Amino acid sequence: MAKLASELAKTPRKSVSLNMKNDPKITIDIPQCSKGHSSSDKSQLKNNDKSEFLSTAPRGLRKRLIVPRSHSDSESEYSASNSEDDEGVAQEYEEDTNEDILSQKIQAQNREVSAPVFRETPSKKMKREKTSHLVEKYFEAHSSSKVLTSDRTLQKLKRAKLDQQTLHNLLSKVSPSFSAELKQLNQQHEQLFHKWMLQLHLGFNIVLYGLGSKRDLLERFRTTMLQDCIHIVINGFFPGISVKSVLNSVTEVLDHVGTFRSVLDQLEWITNKFKEDSSLELFLLIHNLDSQMLRGDKSQQIIGQLSSLRNIYLIASIDHLNAPLMWDHAKQSLYNWLWYETTTYSHYTEETSYENSLLVKQSGSLPLSSLIHVLRSLTPNARGIFRLLIKYQLDNQDNPSYTGLCFQDFYQQCREAFLVNSDLTLRAQLTEFRDHKLIRTKKGTDGVEYLLIPVDNGILTDFLENEEEEL
């Protein structure tokens, strides 16, 4: 892929070779070709960064044997990794990062990023052919159980760990591009505000779709149009949101005291309330109606019923690619949607900040910091115990049948290191660890307890390094 990127950022002569790549017969040429390039470029370089290629070299050799030549779909991919492996083999001594090569290459770049696989054919006749081709691509990609990608992991990248805060700080340094155009785009959308109001009043509900966060837009709509009306803003992207809380906020607005037996009861109460009092009006703004928490069938049904009330005006935004699949005919008629395309290109800052599973990088940073945090609050002895366990686990990391450290052995080791004096103190320590979810115990087949740290080995290594630095 790295090579592809270089092609994307690079010269047209490369894209010619890319075209040829669609022919499976010449697949074999490509590594050579790229090798030639990189080596020719190489002579210009002084490299400054020791890289991970050293470690990938033997794997690359192995991998080349595995690679099936006729696998035309993923060929771009494996050829990419191949080429990189080739480089690794051929230029082991030169110790280059791919990246550096590439960034050097770019000096002669042109500005086009080409996407050879998805180059669209302008003629309509080709279109059908293209779609069938795409279908084939899907099955091709899913037919082979083995997916060829390089085995590099983020662990080996130095700057893999970023938490939310630093990420934010870093991003704030980037100056946004195309601000004039974005502004114009937003203004176009803002002109629709009056129309939206009219349509909402006439019983339609509005759904916004398109790339980019629609949060600011809705916020502006709220501040300009809804100042004098009762309105509720619901942040669907918030992970703690549920239909219950949506309904609760509605009943709160209606000054209801007391609780409801079920969500349906609550809905019924709201419905009756709105039917009785026709002067009651409520604007419901839902950011990300398609979020994890709200996309369930029941939630959508209830929100739909809410929105079908005459006096509740719903304006919502959806982002997910398959969001419209949430609604069947019945729900769609409940919602009575009018679709508006509002592509803003603005970043999903708020929306993505709550997702915790987003990138492995971020989630990787969290256990480490929490690990350090918890262990700091412990006694030096407890820390020692834990370090022992870590070391043992790391020593055994290449052993696939490793099930954990047997309690008796562990006790023995701890005693030898003068960390505990009795069975009971160790057990007390372990309970503490278990409470913080730092260790897991498993009963083996022989009835003996085995101890395991359920954290990635890489993080453990980092942790040990950290500890040593501190000492």
Partner 1 sequence: MKSETERLQEELNKNLFDSLVEFLQTSHSGLWKNSKDWSCEIKLREIPTAALVLGVNVTDHDLTLRSLTEVLQNNVTPYVVSLQAKDCPDMKHFLQKLVSQLMDCKVDVQSKEKESVQVIQKNVHYSMDSLSAWYMSVTQKTDPKMPRKKRTSSSQWQSPPVVLILKDMESFTTKVLQDFIIISSQHLHEFPLILIFGIATSPVVIHRLLPHAVSSLLCIELFQSLSCKEHLTTVLDKLLLTTQFPFKLSEKVLQILTNIFLYHDFSIQNFIKGLQLSLLEHFYSQPLSVLCCNLPEAKRRIRFLSANQCENIRRLPSFRRYVEKQSSEKQVALLTSDKFLKEETQSLLENLHVYHKNYFLVLRCLHQFTSSLPKYPLGRQIRELYCMCLEKNIWDSEEYASVLQLLRLLAKDELMAMLQNCFKLFQSSSGKELGNTAKKIEEFLAQFQSLDAETKEEEDTSQSQSKGLQKTDLYHLQKSLLEMKELRSTSKRQTKFEVLREQVVSFVDSLVREYLLPPDTQPLHETLYFSSAHTLRQHLNAAPRIALHTALNNPYYYLKNEALRSEEGCIPNVAPDICIAYKLHLECSRLINLVDWSEAFATVVTAAEKMDANSVTSEERNEIIHARFIRAVSELELLGFIKPTKQKTDHVARLTWGGC
Residue 124 in the binding site for partner 1 (CB under 8 A): no
246-285 positions binding partner 1, by CB under 8 A: 264
307-336 positions binding partner 1, by CB under 8 A: 318-324, 329-330, 332-333, 336
Smallest distance from the beta carbon of 421 to partner 1, in angstroms? 40
- C-alpha gyration radius of the chain: 29
Structural tokens at position 164:
């939310």
Residue 412 in the binding site for partner 1 (CB under 8 A): no
What would the DSSP string read from start to end of 183-226? HHHHHHHHTTHHHHHHHHHTT-EEEEESSS--HHHHHHHHHHH-
Residue 20 in the binding site for partner 1 (CB under 8 A): no
Rounded Cα distance, 340 and 361, in Å: 35
Nearer to partner 1, 157 or 428 (CB): 157
Nearer to partner 1, 116 or 367 (CB): 116
Nearer to partner 1, 456 or 467 (CB): 456
Rounded Cα distance, 364 and 403, in Å: 23
Residue 16 in the binding site for partner 1 (CB under 8 A): no
> Which of 62, 111, 125, 261 contacts partner 1 by CB under 8 A?
111
Strands 449-452 and 405-406: antiparallel
Under DSSP, the state recorded for 110 is -
> Which of 43, 62, 65, 107 contacts partner 1 by CB under 8 A?
107
Nearer to partner 1, 115 or 417 (CB): 115
337-366 positions binding partner 1, by CB under 8 A: 338-341, 343, 345, 347-348, 351-352, 355, 357-362
Smallest distance from the beta carbon of 309 to partner 1, in angstroms? 15
Structural tokens at position 340:
């508006």
Residue 141 in the binding site for partner 1 (CB under 8 A): yes
The answer to whether 455 and 462 have CB atoms below 8 angstroms apart is no
Nearer to partner 1, 184 or 412 (CB): 184
Question: To which H or E segment does residue 314 belong?
Answer: strand 312-317
Nearer to partner 1, 79 or 429 (CB): 79
Strands 449-452 and 440-443: antiparallel
Rounded Cα distance, 294 and 93, in Å: 55
The answer to whether 441 and 433 have CB atoms below 8 angstroms apart is no
Residue 239 in the binding site for partner 1 (CB under 8 A): no
Type of residue found at 343 = T
209-238 positions binding partner 1, by CB under 8 A: 209-212
Cα of 209 vs its chain's centroid, Å: 20
Residue 77 in the binding site for partner 1 (CB under 8 A): yes
| Binding track, positions 169-208, relative to partner 1; x by CB under 8 A | -xx-xx--xx-xxx-xx---------x--xx-xx-x----
> Which of 17, 249, 301, 311 contacts partner 1 by CB under 8 A?
301
Q: Count of residues binding partner 1 (CB under 8 A)? A: 107
CA count, 13 A, side-chain hemisphere, 367: 20
SS3 state at 410 = helix
